[in-house]
Amino acid sequence: MSESGHSQPGMYGQGRRRRRRRGDRDAGPPGQNLSGPSRDRDYPPRERRDGSEDPPGPLIQKTPIILAKPPGERVRVAKPSQNVPASGAPVLEKPIMLMKARDDAGKPGTPPEAASQTSGPGPSKIEREGQRPTQPVYQIQNRGMSASASSSAVDPMVGQSKLLPPEKMKHSIKLVDDQMNWCEGAMEYLRDQTDMLVVGIIGLQGTGKSTIMSLLSANTPEEDQRAYVFRAQTQEIKERGGNQSTGIDFFITQERVIFLDTQPVLSPSILDHLINNDRKLPPEYNLPHTYVEMQSLQIAAFLFTVCHVVIVVQDWFTDLNVYRFLQTAEMLKPSTPSASHDSTGSSGGDDGAEYYPHIVFLQNKARRDDFCPRNLKNMHMVVDKLMAHSHLKYKGTLSMVDCNIFPGLGQDYLSSEVNLFLLPVQENDGEDSLTKAGSGTYPLFSLLPGYRGHPSFSTMVSKLRSQILAMPRCQLSHTILTEKNWFHYAARIWDGVKKSSALSEYSRLLC
C-alpha cells in the first residue's frame, strides 16, 4: 500500500496533468471536452501556446511565449484568460506586452490586422527563442505615443505664435555695416507676409536723411532728436564736419513698412577718414576717392533694385552732380526681371525686363520763396528736363497740389509735375525770425503767429508721410516676395552688386 500509495499520487497527479495536456492537443468532438464550450470556441490559441517542443515545466515559467503570436491572435487569447488555470496565470501579468508586439510586428501606428499580415513564422520563432528588447516595455509604449502627443501639444503653440503681434522695433539696426558687409540681425523682425513697402533714401552729407526717415517711420517733430530711431548728427559731429550714418540702417514699422537709411553719397568726411586714418583699401581700388564713389554707387544701385520708393534728399536747388550720380547708378543697376510693371508716369516706358522704383525728390530746408507757385513750377520743369531720359519712375505718383498745400492752384497748373516735395525749416530753427517779424512798431503783433508762406513743418511731414505710404507697390522680382523672402533676395542682390563686373569696369575707368 505504501508503495502504491507513494506512486499513486505522484503518478496520478503528473499523469493526469500530462494526459490533460495531451487531451487538449488531441481533442475530439466538443462534447468530450471537460472545459466547456468556451474552450472549444477558443481552441486554436490553446493549441498554439502548448505546441512548443520544450518541456511543459519551463514553458509555464517563460512568459515571453505569448509574444510570438501575431497581435490579432494575442487579443483573442486575452479574453479566455480568465478561465485559464493556475498554470497559465503568468499570462495575465503582462498585458502591456500588447504594445510591444505592435512595435515588433511593424512600424508604430500600424493597425493590428496589418501587423499580423506582415509578421511571419520566422520572427515569431526568433522571439520565442528569447531575443527580447533590452529596454523596458513601458518606454517603448511611450516612445510610440510621443509622436502624436507631441504634435497635439506643439501645434496649438505654433498657431498661437503666428497670431501674436510682430515685435516692435525701438531703434534701427544695421543691414550693411561700415565695412560694407551684410548683417543678419534684421531677420528676426520679419514675418511671412507679402503686404510690405520698402522705402530707401539717399542724399549728400548733412541734408537731413536720418531725421526725415525717423519722422516718416516712428517719431514726431516734437520729440527729442536723441530718441529718434535713426540717429541724427550731434552738434559735435556737425562742428567737425563728420557723418553720423555708416552703411545701411534698417527699421520696420508696425504697418510693415521697411525704411532703409544710408550713409551720405560722395561724402567728404568718409574720404577724409580714409586718408587720415590710413585705412587699407580693397585691392581692386587704388585711390580713396574712387573707393568712396564706388561705395556710393553700390548703395544706390542696391536701393534701385530692392526698394519700392527711393527718396533723393537735397537741401538746396539744385546740384547737377546728384543727377549725374543717379544716372550712373541707374546704368550700373543689376538686371532684375519682373513680372509686372507700372509704367504710369514713366517717361522711359516699360521695357518688360527691368524693374525701376519710384523716385521722390525731396527739397529739405526749403525757404519761403521756394513755395511761390512760379518758383515751384520752374523747379518741376528743371527736374523733368534733367530726368527726361531716365527709366526711373520720377513722375505721376506724388503731388503737392493734391495735398491741398496750394488751394488756389488748379490741377493743370503744373503741366509737367514730377515727384517733388518741399519741406520747410523746422520750427525750432526759425522760431526766432518769426518772433522778430511781429515785433517793432506794433508790439501787439508779436502775440500772433508770424507769416510763414507755407503750412507748418508738422503738417508738411504728415502730408509727405501719407503720400509715401500711398505709393504703388510694384512687384520687385518675378515672384511675389514675403518679408523674409525679401531679406534673402536683398542679400543676394547686395552680394551681386559687390561682385558686379559692370561696377568693376567702371571703377577701372575712373582711375
Q: What is the DSSP string of 12-47?
A: HHHHHHHHHHHHHHT---GGG-TT-HHHHHTHHHHH
pLDDT at 202: 95
Confirm whether 36 is domain-assigned. no
* Residues in a beta bridge with 312: 202, 361
Closest CA relative to residue 472, chosen from 353, 354, 309:
309
**CA distances (Å), origin 373, targets 197, 469, 470, 502:** 32, 25, 24, 42
Residue 118 contacts residue 106 (beta carbons within 8 Å): yes
Residue 348 placed within a domain: no
Is residue 140 a contact partner of residue 153, using CB atoms and an 8 Å limit? Answer: no
Helix (H, G, I), strand (E, B) or coil at 362: strand
On whether residue 159 sits in a domain, the answer given is no
Asked whether residue 75 is assigned to any structural domain, the reply reads: no
The list of the chain residues with pLDDT below 50 reads 1-5, 7-27, 30-40, 42-43, 45, 47, 57-59, 75-93, 100-133, 135-152, 337-351, 429-438
pLDDT at 182: 94
The CATH number covering residue 203 comes to 3.40.50.300
How many structural domains comprise the chain? 1
Rounded to the nearest angstrom, the gap between the alpha carbon of residue 75 and the centroid of all alpha carbons in its chain is 51
Dihedral sign from CA coordinates of 398, 404, 405, 411 = positive
The string of DSSP codes covering 266-278 is T-HHHHHHHHHTT
Residue 376 placed within a domain: yes
Residue recorded with cell 560694407: 180
pLDDT score for 198: 96
Q: What is the pTM of this model?
A: 0.65
| pLDDT value at residue 509 | 87
CA atoms within 13 A on the CB side of 344: 8
* Structural domain includes residue 57: no
For residue 447, how many other CB atoms are within 10 A of its CB? 7
What pLDDT is attached to residue 162? 60
| Contact indicator for 414, 377 with CB cutoff of 8 Å | yes
Per the structure, the complete domain to which residue 310 belongs is given by: 173-338+354-428+442-510
pLDDT confidence of residue 243: 87
What is the per-residue pLDDT for 156?
65
pLDDT digits (tens, 9 = 90+) for 157-204: 665 656 666 678 889 999 999 889 999 989 989 999 899 999 999 999
| pLDDT score for 409 | 80
Query: What are the φ/ψ torsions at residue 401 (nearest 5 degrees)?
Result: -70, -40
Residue 450 neighbours by CB under 8 Å, 6+ apart: 433, 434, 435, 437, 438
